[in-house]
Amino acid sequence: DDTSVAADVKVPILIDFYRHIYDRDWHFSCGTKEYKVLMDQFHHVSAAFLELEKGYQEAIEDITLRMGAGMAKFICKEVETVDDYDEYCHYVAGLVGLGLSKLFHAYGSEDLAPESLSNSMGLFLQKTNIIRDYLEDINEIPKSRMFWPRQIWSKYVKKLEDLKDEENSVKAVQCLNDMVTNALLHVDDCLKYMSALRDPAIFRFCAIPQIMAIGTLALCYNNIKVFRGVVKMRRGLTAKVIDRTKSMTDVYGAFYDFSCILKAKVDKNDPNAQKTVSRLDSILKTCRDSGVLNKRFADVPDFINFVLVLVSVPSYI
């Protein structure tokens, strides 16, 4: 998504990318900072890929082919509808979920998850990133990256970039809350996916980013600072999530706590308040119905207080 590279250059590369991963000599100089290093030294990626067993290579090739074609499609197409938004997120993240599920299955440690659940795992993370990164994407040089669907933002402003203007603060927050509410649709699928995982390492690999995502949404919801700077979870809370995420008990507990925090931030006058609360109630019910909330670590009250403090104070680090 380097906006400095012309579409007629990017599209063929994306379409053929599944072939490039087999070529030890292929590279394409683009991007900045760590992305430039990655692309300049892509031969390391190809070398690692070619050392994998054939089953893993085939799974990665299939997902890379589909992802490249999908990303090429959206190079010249804007995200107009919510369906477009879901489709774009499927190509850039949902397919990652599908690919990982195939790799977990090929490894022999997990059953092959339903594609709908794998897709939701990717969409929940991607939508969270798109919400959080509004300001960075809209200020991208030489051209803005616009991933928020027109079907949502056009209810509040005439142009997507208008959301960052102070005179539109009320509408901007309402639009933000609409976007968060949309992302919450995927949570129940994510919880179902994670509850089926058996391998502890795979479980933590999947669960920690999902908890970070619901925590980030709790921080972003109803927060005008999304349109003013960088909003993200503090390092201390991130460290606690990483340290304490070991089982579905921890996952249900974290989703329950963050959903409670999010629900407490809902303004009854928000145009989507009823829909937001309904989706949060569904998540809370799923967590309660798991029957494990009472088995959480003994210092839960201290942890919740810690979360409440950190979620209420945005970070600009």
Residues 312, 243: Cα–Cα separation, whole Å: 21
Q: Does the active-site annotation cover 235?
A: no
- First and final C-alpha spacing in the chain: 24
Residues 14, 19: Cα–Cα separation, whole Å: 10
Out of 17, 42, 104, 132, which one is annotated catalytic? Answer: 132
Per the document, the length of the chain is 317
Residues 226, 218: Cα–Cα separation, whole Å: 12
Question: Which residue intervals of 90-234 are DSSP H helices?
Answer: 95-107, 115-132, 134-138, 150-153, 169-183, 187-195, 200-220
Out of 24, 66, 145, 204, which one is annotated catalytic? Answer: 145
Query: What b/e sequence results for 77-108 when a residue is b if at least 16 CB atoms lie within 10 Å of its CB, and e otherwise?
Result: eebeeeebbbbbbbbbbbbbbbbbbbbbebee
Q: Does the active-site annotation cover 150?
A: no
Please classify residue 160 by burial: count the beta carbons closer than 10 Å to its beta carbon, then call 0-12 exposed, 13-18 middle and 19+ buried.
buried
Q: Does the active-site annotation cover 279?
A: no
Out of 35, 107, 205, 297, which one is annotated catalytic? Answer: 205
Taking Cα atoms as reference points, which of 38, 147, 21 lies closest to residue 92?
147
Q: Which pair of structure tokens corresponds to residue 232? A: 């993200």
With H, G, I as helix, E, B as strand and everything else as coil, classify residue 94.
Answer: helix
Out of 17, 42, 88, 91, which one is annotated catalytic? Answer: 88
Residues 191, 283: Cα–Cα separation, whole Å: 9
Please check whether residue 282 is in contact with residue 225, taking contact to mean a CB–CB distance below 8 angstroms.
no
Q: Which residues contact 200 (CB under 8 A, 6 or more apart)?
A: 246
Residues 106, 53: Cα–Cα separation, whole Å: 10
Please check whether residue 219 is in contact with residue 308, taking contact to mean a CB–CB distance below 8 angstroms.
no
Q: Does the active-site annotation cover 88?
A: yes
Please check whether residue 260 is in contact with residue 284, taking contact to mean a CB–CB distance below 8 angstroms.
yes
- The residues annotated with a catalytic role in the active site are 88, 132, 145, 205
